[in-house]
Structure 1
């Protein structure tokens, strides 16, 4: 059985998919009531699964009429993807940023789940077992090379 965080994430993604403008506004308390959980659980899901690295922009307004607005940030057109990859990755990249970019490309169906998993394995800190900052530099080179090769097929 899936956990509550997975269910909340799936629900929010469905709302985003059905949205005409690629954005949704929710109230934490109402969503928490709907899923029979505490509002902090909603905060956790939003802060860990709807990050900019994963292709989402989150705006929050607190208070009585407060809301959370989640908007999908679209990847550039495929012809600009190489530029986007180079700009996002740069000369070095932390594992969390790299995984966020991989997630975004997989969500946009520009790479398959299998390709994403292979890339994650190749760029993990366990695979690149050298000290920082060299590890982040090697990760950036590997990631750029693999993504550009996959995307320019």
Structure 2
């Protein structure tokens, strides 16, 4: 598969998306992260919520971090009651990490708060036509990230 040289417009779009998503992520956190979780803790909890139970080594591989980092984050999430750890039925030396009911509640309330804030901000600052453009742009970005 050959890849074409990115156009100037594509480079500008990539930068705008990167910067915009970073700002949007920070604003989401301002509006929902009441548990004062770190970004990596939030990422692990979200991954577990999306993909289901996993071992610390599986989480480390998926997140591209050291197992020790994941172990510290999992311990913090467990301490807050957001995950549970159980012995792996296939390998008693490993633990399987699962989102707890409190963790599911946290994820749901975070999503609801974040989406509520964003919907209000979009309504306040954009026209209906501009909101439709955002929906179209997100569909295009989804097409870019599909494999």
Q: TM-score, normalised by structure 1?
A: 0.33
Which is richer in helix? 2
TM-score (norm 2): 0.34
